[in-house]
Chain A
Amino acid sequence: MLAPIIQISPLTKIRRHRELPVPGKVLVRQSQKVEALDTVAETILAPEHLMLDIASSLYVSTEKADDLIQHAAGEMIQKDDLIAGPVGITQRVVRAPRSGRIVVAGDGLVLLQVNSTPYEVHAGMPGTVTDLIPDRGAVIEATGALIQGVWGNDQTEFGMMQVRIDSPDDKLTADDLDVSLRGAIVLGGYCADPQIFQKAADIPLRGLIFTSMDSSLVRLARKAQIPVLILEGFGFHPLSAIGYNLLTSNNGREVSLNAEARDHYNGTRPEIVIPLDASQAPEDASLAIEDFAKGQSVRIVRAPHQGKSGKIETIYSQPIKFPSGVRALGAEVVLSDNERTTIPLVNLEKIA
């Protein structure tokens, strides 16, 4: 059976597509070095338009109004620029209520697309532009440690990671945060404290990474102005041994926290990149194609043992009955604490 991949790697090449959801302007060049917060591409995601009824405003017919319009579609105009007129004894005119670009002019009407704040896509990690995606963005390549999670609030930040976790089953509350963490991305354990987001905003922090989180906090996490990333899932789940060792050994390093929302159709998932200088690193495994096999390192995604990692000892060729009563293909997994357990294959992810 095809093994879904989760990347938890101390050193790897990381290639990521940074693309706009709709066509726009690419702002980087091939081979350009970029920082995590550099803008790769931008577009107007939700344009705002103003329709100006020239004929009615000037009290003239549609045909006459068209003759009086002073600009053609595509022209940029500034606020108060003359759009149509003058006409009549009082020299009636229509001026631009705001700056923008005329997109339609005719039939007695002018449609103005007003200037609005562009939507930007950031590099998300320090690296090099290896490919350009016309009108959409670029492919960024970096080298470093990579730890993927299961949930993110769709925000990105870059900063120093401060570890506030003493064991894989540690917990984090608002009281554990103080002003010494100002500007840091904090790695904490399980969180069920709704005050934590306000405290993080007050200090302020640049990001929060939780081992796991009570799902009642999702609404607050979505509203938070900083990235929030969940590593193992919802409810109390300790951090996997491999994740714990990797993250705690990088305490104090700069990290890219890409807490992008998981998208099951394009395969994106939230992740932490710890940039490392290394001349050689294994290739990015995100596109690896592998079936489940004996000896693979795996992570368990559902109860029991959710979040724990281990190695596949045996893959059973026939469906097994699990305590729930359900029958499914399964594997015997030896967990990092040497406990053996049988898990449905569909509840496993291969660690790459």
Chain B
Amino acid sequence: MTSSVVSADSILAIDVGTINTRASLFDVVGSRYRFVASGTAPTTIAPPFSDVREGISRAINLLQETTGRLLIGSDGNILIPSHPDGTGIDAVTATLSAGPEIKVVAVGLLEDVSMESARNLAITTYAKVSETISLNDRRKQDERIDAILRARPDLVIVAGGIDGGATRSVNQLLEAVGLACFLLPRDQRPQVLFAGNNNIHEEIKETIAPLTDLHLAPNIRPGIHSEQLAPAQISMSKIFKNVRAQQIFGVSDLDQWANGRLLPTSTAFGRVVRFLSHIYDPNKGVLGVDIGASATTIAAALKGKLGIRVFPQLGLGSNLENLSHYISTDHITFWLSEEIPKSSVRDYLFNKAAHPASIPATVEEMAIEQALGRQMMRSAVSQMIPSLPFTLSGPEGDLLPWVEPILASGSILSNAPTPGQSMLMILDGLQPTGITTIVLDKNKLLASLGAAAEINPLMAVQVLESHAFQNLGTIIAPVGSARKGTPVLRIRTTLEDTSESQLEVKFGSIEVIPLPTGQSAQIQLRPLHRFDVGMGGPGKGGRVRVVGGSLGIVIDARGRPLQLPSDHDLRREQLKRWLWTLGN
């Protein structure tokens, strides 16, 4: 996109994460919007500060030092708007992922229908469903009340009844919710989100609104076979903000600085993914993965429709202590390129949980962390893709559909010592198929751009196309099966200077064709043995223009799903060889 600048707005984007708080500055440089710089400081939710504003202030101070631009006035407030002398800022955006999981009770009529939708809505943000109540539930009313009280929820999501459908059963379920609210002190009562039968909003208002904060959203299950979460997600963002404002000092001020636009980081991340799905190939989806300390987020979008899922259980912070409930140590050790005992991997998880801000300083700990990153992506994406609210075209089986591009964010990926390590983690963890590009969020800006897109969409587009992001390379991953060493793909590459090269790729290998960032090439693909590269079906090839990146063009012919040797030594040897191929 080559649109010219339509507005000179400068934006200060504040992102409060579990470990770090980041202040990033975006402004017009030359004739385009650019990421200028960022300042990072530890997040200060815990004592001695117990207030996020201290971390924000420290991050902005560092940003001021780096840029020489005055952003905070003598009264300690952010200077809004900017002045002709270059001080201040035109707008502030804010994103937040820090804080404990939001405790949710999901209430729905039928376990597999509206209850499932209530649960699906909850996991679009940093929430944990700790109790469920439905008509299938055989507990008596007093037992349901006690279950809600025991769960001490921050939020009760109520779904049920197709529009114009059941009302009596919904009211019966709501009675337990209302009584539980009544029995709690007013300042301890959960927020209630009703996203069921649209026709009974007035009744719900009468019964629940006098007791606690009630949010009404369009029905998330308007029909037995249809689910629509998107409208209710707007209410979820508002509830998230309310809950965090009660839990964490300084969040209300942060929201005020952002003019009421504070967003959960995951929501802002999803917004970028959705935004890009309008711009890129309409026949393919866009995929985003963000591995953070508080959660792993997977977002996929197609033509403006978004599916997002947040996995707080797959965060790289204190939740690692409970990771074994979701991922076995064997699945992590499977990806190790070094010989490390299983007990050391387990010990690593607990030590990292005790000190979430710490980093791997040894080769062994880096190997464990990267193995963990692979398995977290693997686990998250395999749960997310089948539950997408739309169908992405792709190869048959439980494989990643055709997507373009893949946005990858999170310290584990962006702080990897080499681009090859980042790339191999993504290839192993997500196992992309067909032709795609991998964009690495090396400056941790994606969520901030998602928040900024509401104020200035052009800025979001122009920064996304800038060097603030690292294009790791174009991936070609043919899908099919063959014996190791069998040729499965022939590639003819024509560079911009018209020089040509040819390559025959064998099954089980990774090959790299150098193509620097900023250059493009025409490639002709000829899949063999009915391998599928996403160009119209198995065995079909064709010409396609691809762009360069840190690693150029990477052909991942290892097969999907990736099969690694079961023998430990052979597998480690294989992983090392692939890493070597990718320039490590």
Contact = CB atoms under 8 A, between A and B. Distances in A.
The answer to whether A and B belong to the same complex is yes
B484 interface: no
Contacts of A326: 359-361, 366, 415, 417
A267 B47 contact: yes
Interface string A121-141: 000000000000000000000
A85 B387 CA distance: 55
A144 B217 CA distance: 56
Contacts of A328: 359
B270 interface: no
B185 to A, nearest CB: 6
A87 B42 CA distance: 69
Interface string B99-125: 110000000000000000000000000
Contact of B179 (A111, A151, A303): A111
Interface stretch (A30-38, A47-55, A74-82, A165-173): A47-55
Interface in A213-228: 214-216, 218
Interface string B106-149: 00000000000000000000000000000000001110011001
Given A234-B347, A266-B47, A304 B361 contact: yes
Contacts of A324: 359-363, 365-366, 417
A303 B350 contact: no
Contacts of B332: none
Contact of B365 (A4, A111, A234, A302): A302
B47 A23 contact: no
B343 A49 contact: no
A255 B352 CA distance: 28
Nearest to A305: B361
A218 B351 CA distance: 12
B47 A287 contact: yes
Interface residues of A, number: 50
Of A46, A267, A324, most buried by chain B (CB within 10 Å of CB) is A324
B361 A347 contact: yes
B59 to A, nearest CB: 11
A103 interface: yes
B354 interface: yes
Contact of A151 (B41, B352, B354, B421): B354
B142 A214 contact: no
B46 A264 contact: yes
Contacts of B318: 262, 264
A47 B350 contact: no
B317 interface: yes
B440 interface: no
Interface of B: 18, 41-42, 44-50, 58, 99-100, 140-142, 145-146, 149-150, 152, 179, 182-183, 185, 188, 317-318, 321, 343-344, 346-352, 354-366, 415-418, 421
Interface of A: 1-2, 4, 21-23, 46-51, 103-104, 111, 113, 150-151, 214-216, 218, 233-235, 262, 264-267, 286-289, 301-304, 306, 322-328, 343-344, 346-347
